[in-house]
Structure 1
Amino acid sequence: MMNRNCNWLTTYDPFDPFQKLDKVFFGDPFFSNATTAVAAFGTDVTDEGDFYKLTADLPGFKKDDIQIDVDNGILTISAERNEETEDQDKKGRYIRRERTYGSYKRSFDLSEVDDDKITAKYVDGVLTLELPKKQIQEVDSKKSITID
């Protein structure tokens, strides 16, 4: 199941025929169509001028539980948790026994980002990525072609 949110770092889905139409109807893709899984984590994206700042709420995870990958211009943040807690009395009977399992994943389009310069830090349950914008060189739109 997939939901639509509003942020530009978009989940890339090559099989979504409407993904490009979102740009036509809703403007700049920066704020148009992110796709998230049902078990997703909250993210915020802000434009800081020279870079975008992405913050992801991942409370309860250890740094080693989180993986960040870039593949073909798609940034994927995934986190997996597998914890068990057992409390027993002196006779070995359970007073409480809890298990927590969770797997979370979000993917974002990096078409406007220099993916070689991305930095990440994880503090107090919040993952923060700085995504430097690509330097766009202005090109003259008018060219003269010489005839041989």
Structure 2
Amino acid sequence: MFGMLPFERSDDNFFDAFDNFQRKFFGENNSSVPAFRTDIRDNGESFLLECELPGFQKEDIHLELKDNILTIHAEHSEDKDQQDSKGQYIRRERRYGSFSRSFDVSGIDESGITAAYKNGILELSLPKAKPAVPETKRIAIE
């Protein structure tokens, strides 16, 4: 009987304390939308944002840019039904997944953002905005 009770390991080391903060603070089954893994690389003139979204189709992924916030939302639902010759279910499975994540893109040239999705990886190229150079004006003396 005691072998069936759920338990939690409590021998976290110093590094695991940071990784497990959210789970410990909000509880194991919090109601927040899960995040997906993301890598951001600085390529000099631009940033490359790579998001792991395996199992999603390109049509399932939505990108929204508003007030210097880039939101990536992916939603997937799948129904599998197997019925016998009489129309009775042999197996019926349903699966639903939704992921969302937002990024601050201030300092990015929003008109130059491009996106591509291949093999479960969403890649966004985020070109850096050119710094505005103050214009020097000469004033004539009369």
TM-score range relative to shorter protein: 0.5 to 0.7
**Alpha-carbon offset, residue 133 of structure 1:** 0.5
Aligned to 1:125: 120
Aligned to 1:66: 61
Aligned to 2:75: 80
Residue in structure 1 matching 2:34, options 35, 39, 51: 39
Q: Which blocks of at least 5 consecutive residues in structure 2 are unaligned? A: 1-17, 20-31, 136-142
Q: What percentage of residue pairs aligned between the two structures are identical?
A: 48
Distance (Å, rounded) in 2 between the aligned partners of 1:137 and 1:115: 15
Report the TM-score when normalising by structure 2. Answer: 0.68
Query: What is the CA deviation profile of residues 19-56 of structure 1, one whole-angstrom value per residue up to 9, with x for unaligned ones?
Result: xxxxxxxxxxxxxxxxxx55111111000110000010
Q: Which blocks of at least 5 consecutive residues in structure 1 are unaligned? A: 6-36, 141-148
Cα pair 2:33 2:98 within 8 Å, conserved: no
**Alpha-carbon offset, residue 102 of structure 1:** 1.4
**Alpha-carbon offset, residue 98 of structure 1:** 1.2
Query: What is the CA deviation profile of residues 63-106 of structure 1, one whole-angstrom value per residue up to 9, with x for unaligned ones?
Result: 11100010010000001111111122333333322111111110
Cα pair 2:73 2:99 within 8 Å, conserved: yes
| CA RMSD between the two structures | 2.1
Matched, 1:94 2:64: no
Aligned length: 106
Say which one has the larger Rg. 2
